[in-house]
Structure 1
Amino acid sequence: MTERFSSTWTQVDGRRMHARVGGRVDAPAVVLLHGLGVSSRYMLPLARELAPQFRVHAVDLPGFGRSEPPAEVLDVPGLADALLAWVDAAGLVAQALVANSIGCQVAASAMARSPQALERAVLIGPTFDRRGRNLPAQVVRLVRTGVRERPGLAAVMARDYAACGPRRVVRTVRHAFAHRIEGDLPAITRPVLVVRGGRDRVVPQRWAEEVTAALPDGRLAVVPGHGHALNYSAAGPLTSAIRPFLGGPPPGPDAPTARPATASIAQFDSATAILRGSAAALHGRDLPALGAFPRPVAPLVERVLPAVDLLPDRLREQVYRIGSGSEAAPPGELHAVSAELLARWMVAQYPRREYPAAIVGSSSGALAHLAAALGVPFLPQTFLLPVAQPQVDPDDPRHGLAAGAGPGRLLLDANPEVALHHMHDPNQDRLSLARMTYFRLKRRRLGAAFTGFLADTLPRGATLLVADCRLRWPVTPLGDRHVFQFGALGGMPAEEFRTGSPRVADYLRRYGSACRRWDPPPVDGDAPEAEWGFDPALWDDLSEIARERGWRLRRVTFGEPAALSPLVADLYRWWYRRRGRQAERLLVESFVLLDPHLVLATGLVPYWSEFPVEPSAAALERYLDGTQNGPGAQPYEEILLTLFQHGTDGVGVAPIERWRELIGRAGRHGAFLGVDPRLHPRDFSSFGRFHRTLAGKPRATPPAPLTLEELDLFLAERPDDAVSWDG
């Protein structure tokens, strides 16, 4: 039950202290603490927003509002003692504290002096910035910030200042300037959320980050577009940011503060590219500029990109850094990221019609081609959220873990349905890591958007294919749903990231690093690989919905993402021949360089590889060996090959000669497609040239879709030890 706010008085050290109390009687207690000269009235807008989920107590400190004044003006520790005494006298247990401005100094002092008295705290606009602890600087900052506040705030402040008197205000300001909040922060062992308005001039971003870094368990949230008095002028957005931290429900995808899906998902990531490729194929469209730009401007982007290759290597690398970093979300705004909103964006990519099947789970470019052949949608379990982290050296994984811990907790508080795999790979992602880090989120629950889409588009008797990549990686656990992964699938094994090797030392030397091996945090077990592995927690929801809707549930299990590629390539050859098509032209794709519709339109056989690294080259070689030398050998007359461009000569990157040798295995014609071999691995214009070159190939009408019955027939004829199909 929600009550109106009423006044209560509590006897504390011979004086009466006043508080406004309201909200749910049976809910956890939240104490609101005002700033300089004002009272609990100043906290009422926030109190009303919190009241539906919490029992809210907005207290007046001694001498302010309706609380009795002490004989002397209390300093910050004195106010902290009074706060602690009031909490005890009021009989509050398991309470959280939410403070603003100078109230943050009082809160920090109280938590440092009595670590067990308060469960957690939110510090909104904590004062004072150590570079501005003087009256002139603060007056200028307050005036600049004041234009961002609600007009009614001035009246509240005038009334409260008059009530406590100028002498108390001036003495309290002096005490606040003398107090050093940073001295209390390291002693606060409880979780603390620091909140700053994006246009708060009193609390610069730099200072908010310093305060957060000084806390043993701190995290930082930024509310864009607002000033210092968030509790009064932006109570709604502030509540969305802090409510999950306080133990309340997350804001959800329809909250006005939710970050748009297109601003939260990586444009140049495996899951995004595979999703876009699958969706475009169902629309009967290709993917100009990899689908990362609106179709009207994509051709222009493809023509402009070649200019990048005219730059020297270092400038090209800088362009790559800036481009990848531009996608990154500010870490302080992760409270506004909604995994469910991202799921809505994913399902909106597909035509809303009836399908015979759907694929859900691990990403693989081969699955995009399987989905295109069957004419069905693919929904990835994992997606990438790039997070700005320019202060972290790529070769310092321990700093990377520490910098990502607070933002990770903020994100998980707001999204209970996902797990976070914080990935740090200084080998393949060296250029990107200079400006951002990789937060990969895995859905552990199906969620409303995925559930609704599947229920609307799959009739009874349809098939739900679950893509289950069993690839795992050593991790450092940071929580129930939070792990840190150092290194990733690519050109070197997991162990080499940790132990080092001569080739790692050579790589670090070539890039001017001060170290010759990395010093990652210790591991404790393993987990599904961040980008590719399947989190089995999702299986329960998939099983339940399949049972309820009368769908056939099939688990497709494979050891690594490209393990499906030989099977899918052979499936296409088999399918093409059943439709009376030629099947002797192979396209070797690389990471995000894929286009399922154009593959079908040009009659190519797709073979997808993860990266242009030696393990991928070796896998392709084994596949070509089988087509040339195995039972019923059917060599390819033409081999076209593209290469994803990481921008660095990382450990394990296969040299261009290795790839040239592989395309030389073609019976008639072998060539690179869309990539200039002279510039590998820095041919960044290949991201546009891939589509333009492929789109220029002669086209024919795509074959009629492959049926599920035909798929089963093919699987019966072609057993594959690398892939299992259960169900």
Structure 2
Amino acid sequence: MREKTGWLATGGVPAPQQIVSPDSHSRVLLAAAARALHGRDCDDLRYLPTLSRFRSTPEPLRRAALARAAARAAVAPDRVGDVDADRIAQWVVEQYPQRWYPGVVVGSPHGGAVHLATAMGVPWLPSEFEMAVHWPHGSVDDAAGALVYGGTMADRFLPPNPALAVRQVHDPAGRGHLVGCTITLVARWRRLPDPYRRFLGACLAPAAPMLMLRDARTWPVLDAGTRHSFQVGAPASGLDPDDYVPGSERFGQVLRHTGGDRARWRAPALACPTGFAEHSVEPAFEESLRGWAEAAGSALHRVLFPRPEALSAATADLYRGWLRAAGKTGNRCVVECGRLIDPWQVVRAGMVPYWCENAARRTVAAAEWWLAGSAAFSSVDVLPEPPGLESEAVAGLAQWRAVASFGRRRAALDRVAVRGYPGSPVPTRRATEVLRGQPYDLPRPAPLPLPAALAGLRDSGTPLGLLVC
């Protein structure tokens, strides 16, 4: 099954697959979740992230080539006002089979959300989508200029889309050279979009429960105008907010690697009030979802996670219990990273999945701590996604090998990903290729009921700061 595109552009209006950034986690996670419900793996997800390209080209030429490639993939500035959020929401729900579901998972992008949805046999509906907009005369070290340009784009994008709020993110540590030629806009729904309502009304079983997952990380956020906010850096970068200043040696290294200059660094404000980071759920969206659930006679449950690793650990523990309750060992673990994920193959192989958001040192360290505190696994397979750039905040291969070493009989670090680490990312299908090599452990367990999922998340996640309510 190929990724459903649907809603082909008519009258020159950009189609959803031309708007939603192919480099974003939410798009990859949506594709993986939909394939799992179709009973398929991710073998056809062959897209290579932009930062992985032109590796053999001299650096000045490579930056120019990356800028051209990013511009081609981004939304053109003069088309931003044509973006229709409802068409994107319709494209999202069309990824899934049209049938009855015993529940639904909604909210922030996280690999654990997709694994939970797969175990329960339900869809995952993201509360956001991400798009890149071409910035013709941008610069990596001009965050203030990015804000001004982003304000112009928000003025075009938001009036025709009153259901959205936009969080603009300028993060050289996370997106490298690309922040100098594109701006990143995370569009978050402020109410349940009509296509979601129709899909839930047609496919959700009567009184079926709903689960909303919310990323509760915080970050300095600047209110840039009506429904437009801005942040420099992001929690996933592996840096702290205080690092994004010219005097920081860590940030200076990032700028050097990305073609910037910390002497020219311009930021819109030295200090901003702390708010929820870019992948949180809009409060108005949650209220809208709650209103729909009450009208439908469904119960809405919430899980708030203060760090992605808390949800990753709780989901992995839940999978282990689910597998063992079905008579399986639950002693084989796969540590996924970023886009290297395949929930259908994980269930087919009867493995315990732990998802790392990215290859940041602190993210990989959290995986080590979880493995150290868990009952021993007979095997640990590790899929380290190369981030596409070098930074002190990125985990080295020695740290990834330490993660794999927790396998008593098998400790495997994917050689293809290692070969190009950290500079050359690999496509999602690489996770499928690795997991296909695992022994089958069929039949798969019966679908995990939501009450059991909530109980498992509460038992394992509460000590880690997970709030289940």
Kindly report the root-mean-square deviation, in angstroms, between the aligned alpha carbons of the 2 structures.
2.7
Residue 14 of structure 2 corresponds to residue 259 of structure 1: yes
| Distance (Å, rounded) in 1 between the aligned partners of 2:458 and 2:154 | 45
Letter of the 2:249 counterpart? P
Q: What SS is found at the alignment partner of 1:637?
A: strand
2:317 matched residue in structure 1: 570
2:298 is aligned, of 551, 554, 557, to: 551
Runs of 5+ consecutive residues of structure 1 not aligned to the other structure: 1-252, 293-300, 628-633
1:477 matched residue in structure 2: 223
Q: Deviations over 1:148-175 (max 9, x none)?
A: xxxxxxxxxxxxxxxxxxxxxxxxxxxx
Q: 1:313 to 1:586 in 2, by over 3 A?
A: farther
1:614 matched residue in structure 2: 361
Letter of the 1:439 counterpart? L
Q: 1:635 to 1:415 in 2, by over 3 A?
A: same
1:667 matched residue in structure 2: 408
Q: What SS is found at the alignment partner of 1:429?
A: helix
TM-score with structure 2 length normalisation?
Answer: 0.90
CA drift at 1:360: 1.3
Letter of the 2:339 counterpart? V
Q: Kindly indicate whether the alpha-carbon contact (under 8 Å) linking 1:337 and 1:411 is maintained by their aligned counterparts in 2.
A: yes
Q: Kindly indicate whether the alpha-carbon contact (under 8 Å) linking 1:505 and 1:516 is maintained by their aligned counterparts in 2.
A: no
2:275 matched residue in structure 1: 527
CA drift at 1:284: 0.5
Q: Deviations over 1:671-720 (max 9, x none)?
A: 22264424311123455533323333333433321122432453565462
2:210 is aligned, of 455, 461, 464, to: 464
CA drift at 1:403: 1.8
Residue 142 of structure 2 corresponds to residue 362 of structure 1: no
2:4 matched residue in structure 1: none
Q: What SS is found at the alignment partner of 1:681?
A: coil
Q: 1:470 to 1:335 in 2, by over 3 A?
A: same
Q: Kindly indicate whether the alpha-carbon contact (under 8 Å) linking 2:103 and 2:209 is maintained by their aligned counterparts in 1.
A: yes
1:268 matched residue in structure 2: 23
Q: 1:602 to 1:655 in 2, by over 3 A?
A: same
**Structure whose CA Rg is larger:** 1
| Distance (Å, rounded) in 1 between the aligned partners of 2:461 and 2:298 | 25
Q: What SS is found at the alignment partner of 1:677?
A: helix
1:58-69 equivalences in 2 (<5 Å): none
1:418 is aligned, of 164, 170, 177, to: 164
Q: Kindly indicate whether the alpha-carbon contact (under 8 Å) linking 2:382 and 2:403 is maintained by their aligned counterparts in 1.
A: no
| Distance (Å, rounded) in 2 between the aligned partners of 1:641 and 1:725 | 29
1:328 matched residue in structure 2: 74
Q: Kindly indicate whether the alpha-carbon contact (under 8 Å) linking 2:385 and 2:417 is maintained by their aligned counterparts in 1.
A: no
2:56 matched residue in structure 1: 311
Letter of the 2:372 counterpart? D
1:74-473 equivalences in 2 (<5 Å): 256=11, 258-290=13-45, 311=56, 314=59, 322-473=68-219
Q: Deviations over 1:534-587 (max 9, x none)?
A: 211112211111111000111111113332000110111111111111211111
Q: What SS is found at the alignment partner of 2:125?
A: strand
Q: What SS is found at the alignment partner of 1:492?
A: coil
Q: What SS is found at the alignment partner of 1:611?
A: coil
Q: Kindly indicate whether the alpha-carbon contact (under 8 Å) linking 1:573 and 1:583 is maintained by their aligned counterparts in 2.
A: yes
1:605 is aligned, of 340, 352, 360, to: 352
Letter of the 2:445 counterpart? P
Q: Deviations over 1:233-285 (max 9, x none)?
A: xxxxxxxxxxxxxxxxxxxx998554211111112311111111111111101
Q: Kindly indicate whether the alpha-carbon contact (under 8 Å) linking 1:576 and 1:583 is maintained by their aligned counterparts in 2.
A: yes
| Distance (Å, rounded) in 2 between the aligned partners of 1:435 and 1:512 | 12
Letter of the 1:279 counterpart? A
Q: Kindly indicate whether the alpha-carbon contact (under 8 Å) linking 1:675 and 1:686 is maintained by their aligned counterparts in 2.
A: no
Q: Kindly indicate whether the alpha-carbon contact (under 8 Å) linking 2:129 and 2:186 is maintained by their aligned counterparts in 1.
A: yes
Q: Kindly indicate whether the alpha-carbon contact (under 8 Å) linking 1:469 and 1:559 is maintained by their aligned counterparts in 2.
A: yes
Letter of the 1:337 counterpart? V
Runs of 5+ consecutive residues of structure 2 not aligned to the other structure: 1-7
1:694 matched residue in structure 2: 435
CA drift at 1:624: 1.2
Q: Kindly indicate whether the alpha-carbon contact (under 8 Å) linking 1:613 and 1:652 is maintained by their aligned counterparts in 2.
A: yes
Residue 365 of structure 2 corresponds to residue 624 of structure 1: no
CA drift at 1:312: 5.3
Q: Kindly indicate whether the alpha-carbon contact (under 8 Å) linking 1:464 and 1:553 is maintained by their aligned counterparts in 2.
A: yes
1:714 is aligned, of 441, 456, 459, to: 456
Greater relative contact order structure (CA < 8 Å, 6+ sep): 2
1:83 matched residue in structure 2: none
Letter of the 2:124 counterpart? F
Q: Deviations over 1:498-549 (max 9, x none)?
A: 464222223334555332583311154233311x212111122111111110
CA drift at 1:430: 1.0
| Distance (Å, rounded) in 1 between the aligned partners of 2:434 and 2:299 | 40
Q: Deviations over 1:416-435 (max 9, x none)?
A: 10001111101120132243
Q: Deviations over 1:86-144 (max 9, x none)?
A: xxxxxxxxxxxxxxxxxxxxxxxxxxxxxxxxxxxxxxxxxxxxxxxxxxxxxxxxxxx
CA drift at 1:324: 4.3
2:466 matched residue in structure 1: 723
Q: Kindly indicate whether the alpha-carbon contact (under 8 Å) linking 2:311 and 2:461 is maintained by their aligned counterparts in 1.
A: no
| Distance (Å, rounded) in 2 between the aligned partners of 1:715 and 1:334 | 40
CA drift at 1:328: 0.3
1:657 matched residue in structure 2: 398
1:539 matched residue in structure 2: 286
Q: Deviations over 1:373-412 (max 9, x none)?
A: 0001111111101111142111111111122221111000
Q: Kindly indicate whether the alpha-carbon contact (under 8 Å) linking 1:500 and 1:518 is maintained by their aligned counterparts in 2.
A: no
| Distance (Å, rounded) in 2 between the aligned partners of 1:289 and 1:430 | 27
1:679 is aligned, of 420, 426, 430, to: 420
Residue 247 of structure 2 corresponds to residue 506 of structure 1: no
| Distance (Å, rounded) in 1 between the aligned partners of 2:194 and 2:426 | 39
Residue 393 of structure 2 corresponds to residue 646 of structure 1: no
Q: 1:687 to 1:550 in 2, by over 3 A?
A: closer
Q: Kindly indicate whether the alpha-carbon contact (under 8 Å) linking 2:98 and 2:203 is maintained by their aligned counterparts in 1.
A: yes
Q: What SS is found at the alignment partner of 1:720?
A: helix
Q: Kindly indicate whether the alpha-carbon contact (under 8 Å) linking 2:332 and 2:379 is maintained by their aligned counterparts in 1.
A: yes
1:703 is aligned, of 422, 445, 448, to: 445
1:47-62 equivalences in 2 (<5 Å): none
| Distance (Å, rounded) in 2 between the aligned partners of 1:552 and 1:610 | 29
Q: 1:390 to 1:695 in 2, by over 3 A?
A: farther
| Distance (Å, rounded) in 2 between the aligned partners of 1:512 and 1:380 | 33
| Distance (Å, rounded) in 1 between the aligned partners of 2:329 and 2:36 | 20
2:3 matched residue in structure 1: none
Q: 1:686 to 1:264 in 2, by over 3 A?
A: closer
Q: What SS is found at the alignment partner of 1:551?
A: coil
Q: 1:481 to 1:510 in 2, by over 3 A?
A: closer
Q: What SS is found at the alignment partner of 1:594?
A: coil
Q: Kindly indicate whether the alpha-carbon contact (under 8 Å) linking 2:340 and 2:430 is maintained by their aligned counterparts in 1.
A: no
Q: How many residues align?
A: 457
Letter of the 1:367 counterpart? A
1:128 matched residue in structure 2: none
| Distance (Å, rounded) in 1 between the aligned partners of 2:159 and 2:275 | 21
| Distance (Å, rounded) in 2 between the aligned partners of 1:465 and 1:480 | 29
Q: 1:503 to 1:603 in 2, by over 3 A?
A: same
Q: What SS is found at the alignment partner of 2:462?
A: coil
Letter of the 1:725 counterpart? V
TM-score with structure 1 length normalisation?
Answer: 0.59
